[in-house]
Structure 1
């Protein structure tokens, strides 16, 4: 006959410690779920307080405030009549846990702590919480007095309704080898919920979606995935993609990137489809062989009303293909959404960008343009929160609604070309044209007098005046003269960020200074410490040069901005040294390696966990073949050069601007890539081992060559 149930999951743009705002977004998601006829609503991980509270999780106040908000949600009549799965931190027996609270009609049915904690990369959950680590075990938890006291099950349990059975798992548990949903499925659970705080990384979504769809491909079932979305107050952007999967097939998928604070999706499921899918001998045999069962919380809740089968407007949701964005689209959308959240929540007056005319600052400017495009789109779709926010950040009246991205940029985006005698006409012209295209308030200036004044101060103090290498100076002088230009740009950037709005009679709020150092330059250390890469936030700090070029090519076409092609065709250069007939500064020549090589070094170092020796061996097998055809000595020299410059510049990462995390090999020292910044850059023992391997390879190649000659 069919057992139809409508289920809801959501993306929520929660904010760390924004208790009342988080509460309101949770309530709105419940209202929307009920309006769509859902009988079960699932929300993101730690949605009450926000996922990214970090060391605030050590404060007892946070747990008290979370209970305050949960009480207001639980006692609100609008939240009754629907089964709720809500995330918040809880202290049990003086131990802090990351929990799910299952409730219905104002009554808590179960508190389910997280079994496996995320504790690598960007995550340090075991710094704040303790894993439950006791599958199928539970205890009693005394509820706070404000919720009437009494006891409720606390542990790894499942919920039985009149017509089905469901269980919860949390984020990391999906990625573990023994995911709880497998054992739950073998014990009869038909609906699984997963509440996550999963961040965006380029090309990562396919991995997550593969795990989500495969969760019910073996055992059958309904899988509801909910995720945080937006900037939770830090470097990460949580990229939503809440979804509902039945028997391994997607039936509903929310957006990965959008400015909507609340996004609820629903699907109607016939539970008989799950039961038919499970009607396989192998799974039946494994089910009855389970030695230990879950403790089941028995309820009188009905998720599949009998009359729903006869509702002509109610029908099961159809399967659909999983939606993915191209990497170029991910770059266009992820950092843009992150910038918007940062701008509206910091309540500053906008952004200031040192626009050099190179591809990195160009990409940063285009990301601001992409942000403005998203805001215009959301305004056109009637998103009242976005309309309210854009009116505030642009300091406009309540009837003002922007129609073009340029209208927004004219109010909140400022840029400046900070030229010197070493700057070319082409870079200055490109910067000016791009600023006009995007609509930023642009300042074209020279800072030669400032640079000259600082050098004169040094000359007066020491009696010596440094000169560039092309004019006969030493490498020390050459580097110092480059660095002073870069550092003075940083000083000017903050001066202009504070005063430019004032020059336009806008006195409320300074500007956020945007950095524009890409992940490869950070990895190599090809930047000046405390130069114009030192900023408030950096939207491209976790994106490789290769991906940035692809993004600019994509944006030139999709944003109808042909000016961007000029940036792609230009040779990357810092323009900190004099241009002569015989010399023009080039980034890749300065670095002694190409950007493509840097990307490979970065992945081997961080993702594949290679030290110098392991990196050499891997690269020799790659680069000794066409199209590279490098000798063992050449590969060894490249590897040694990379590790040397990586090591001597590692100290720069301790002061880098907080950057949008987008790449697995990010060298961000603040949390993601924890390594010492004072190490021997020669790596003497690893170097000796590499030289030994090179000698063996060289000798073997000579023997093969000699044998071939004797045969001939």
Structure 2
């Protein structure tokens, strides 16, 4: 009997309920795994349904390799998230998930129940469609592992790796040598190392081989699943897949020496310490992962994981997400209101990055990407040559100017559009604004004025909102009909460009041009976007970004002063973007209320702000946050870049109607400020 095993894991770009497409990617991954000599293939979480499982069992591609697939299964009228392991038209076992993901983006308990019968195994009655193929009436169902003739394989499912009581610990102590994790884990900025370190730590302290499979791409949601399939042994990663890729199927294989696991554990695992674990229930199969003569088969050696910088992650993750959304939506491209500011320019750069990735994929021979891009542009003979040319085909930008727009922003938007190659338009909204005000004046007999012209704050705000909402209406009009006007088929998806800081405080007009089909930067802070544009200026040689970065952020909704912008975002908000980002994270991630935030910031900001100034800033933030919280219910679906996300319907489940006075909390802050001032006296 041999001692070396070749194992395969994969990252698959699956699409919820697209069972035909998912079947095709699964079969392709199994075919690739077998071609590389693997005897075991692991796939991501929740891949298929029973009809697809039957087709997999019947396929000649799945013969002579243990296949591990994910699917929901109803057992005794309870629905479980399960792994199904099968070999040669026989189901070997079904392992249900024991620990649910039920926080942040996930509400798994809404759909599934955890299997809470530790080390217990029951008989599952197969549906008739599977009995006809397998010849089995029942199969093992529960907390069990698979014992081959040469080793033992145990499963973890996604969140179980992150749990403080991960199953891999007891499995390792009981001699399970290969542990697998099928996952649907999403991308967040600066988090890739966390997943990698968990896997390295799991095999470092327990010994053993660990396989990690993951979804990749946009699954029709706000999340981007970022692949990173990997294989590790005894604390070292030996093979890995890409984090951001346009490949629908990516298979990662590695060859291991089982004796390396046994030697490692012989030194680190000590049963005489009485670990008090319950032995695993083993399901035996007459099959070997190793060959009879594998002495000359080389094993994989440790590799160094190179992590992307946050700027690279912003460039790659949302770009891949946008591509999946575009190719699956049936639309012909994107439309973006480009103002010449940091936010809309960041969105434009992400689209340009998408075009860079597409052109590279086509050059690398990715036929699926070529087929998709031809369908998007409506030209079966089209071959994208370079990103600027492709950008002109799929990306339309428009500068929507009014009497309050400056020549500087107009020029910056036009220059950036020229550099990335987008189809650019200049749309003057003044006629539409005057028409709407004319209707109001005709009905009421009154005409509102800007504050600069003697109007009240209510008039001033209403006049700003009219411009913002007109831009939204025109954006959708041009998205629907601009290609029609050119004699081209299809419509365009409207892109939003509100950053996470502004969304959290509601610094935007409800149903303005921040309202769009999707928003690639809605989960990214202003601070990160600024760093991202610096990266783009150098990496993509987009020199027009230098002027954009140097300009103060402004909405340009109030009258100009001597042709120059008099309104800035930070003056409107009463706080800087740097301050807003700090307070936003304390509120969103640390769950701080007004008083606890004040107590933290009097120390954090003690070098620049007095306690009185900190108190005023915190109160201003919470007033803006609460008075605008209702806007979160209509916010454009955004790429979820990190846990600093204001998206209430999927992620942030807090109320959208608060008492904006924050009575007790603000009094506590005032009392504390008074005590501090008395102490100084």
Counterpart contact for 2:206–2:269, Cα < 8 Å? no
Matched, 1:413 2:395: yes
- 1:249-260 matches, cutoff 5 A: 249-260=236-247
1:326 Cα deviation (Å)? 0.3
The equivalent position to 1:365 in structure 2, one of 338, 348, 369, is: 348
1:700 Cα deviation (Å)? 2.4
1:462 paired residue number: 444
1:565 paired residue number: 546
| Structure 2 counterpart SS, 1:437 | helix
| Structure 2 counterpart SS, 1:307 | coil
The equivalent position to 1:690 in structure 2, one of 646, 669, 677, is: 669
Matched, 1:152 2:131: no
Distance 2:430 2:440 in 1: 16
1:385 Cα deviation (Å)? 0.4
- 1:387-536 matches, cutoff 5 A: 387-397=370-380, 399-507=381-489, 509-536=490-517
Distance 2:675 2:282 in 1: 64
2:290 paired residue number: 304
Distance 2:188 2:277 in 1: 40
Counterpart contact for 2:355–2:390, Cα < 8 Å? yes
Matched, 1:35 2:18: no
CA RMSD of aligned residues (A): 1.3
1:676 Cα deviation (Å)? 1.1
| Structure 2 counterpart SS, 1:272 | helix
Structure 1 pair 543–560 and aligned structure 2 pair: CA distance change class (3 A): same
Distance 2:268 2:592 in 1: 45
Distance 1:307 1:256 in 2: 35
- 1:283-322 matches, cutoff 5 A: 283-286=270-273, 289-290=275-276, 292-309=278-295, 311=296, 314-322=297-305
Matched, 1:138 2:125: no
Counterpart contact for 1:605–1:665, Cα < 8 Å? no
1:328 paired residue number: 311
**If the length of structure 1 is used for normalisation, what is the TM-score?**
0.93
1:648 Cα deviation (Å)? 0.4
- 1:88-99 matches, cutoff 5 A: 88-99=71-82
The equivalent position to 1:351 in structure 2, one of 331, 334, 338, is: 334
Structure 1 pair 174–111 and aligned structure 2 pair: CA distance change class (3 A): same
- After superposition, the C-alpha distances for 1:588-616 in whole angstroms (9 at most, x for unaligned) are 11011111111111211121121111111
Matched, 1:219 2:206: yes
The equivalent position to 1:613 in structure 2, one of 595, 599, 611, is: 595
Distance 1:558 1:133 in 2: 51
Matched, 1:181 2:168: yes
Matched, 1:9 2:9: yes
1:619 Cα deviation (Å)? 1.0
| Structure 1 counterpart SS, 2:117 | coil
Counterpart contact for 2:10–2:44, Cα < 8 Å? yes
| Structure 1 counterpart SS, 2:71 | strand
Distance 1:91 1:533 in 2: 42
| Structure 2 counterpart SS, 1:361 | helix
1:282 Cα deviation (Å)? 5.0
- For this pair of structures, how many residues does the alignment match? 676
Matched, 1:592 2:574: yes
2:520 paired residue number: 539
| Structure 2 counterpart SS, 1:418 | strand
Matched, 1:164 2:151: yes
1:699 Cα deviation (Å)? 2.2
1:5 Cα deviation (Å)? 0.6
Matched, 1:271 2:255: no
For structure 2, which runs of at least 5 residues remain unmatched after alignment? none
Structure 1 pair 289–542 and aligned structure 2 pair: CA distance change class (3 A): closer
1:281 Cα deviation (Å)? 5.9
1:710 paired residue number: none
| Structure 2 counterpart SS, 1:263 | strand
1:292 Cα deviation (Å)? 2.2
**If the length of structure 2 is used for normalisation, what is the TM-score?**
0.98
| Structure 1 counterpart SS, 2:67 | strand
| Structure 1 counterpart SS, 2:180 | strand
Mean Cα displacement is larger for which, 660-669 or 577-586? 577-586
- After superposition, the C-alpha distances for 1:638-664 in whole angstroms (9 at most, x for unaligned) are 111111100000000100110000021
Counterpart contact for 2:2–2:293, Cα < 8 Å? no
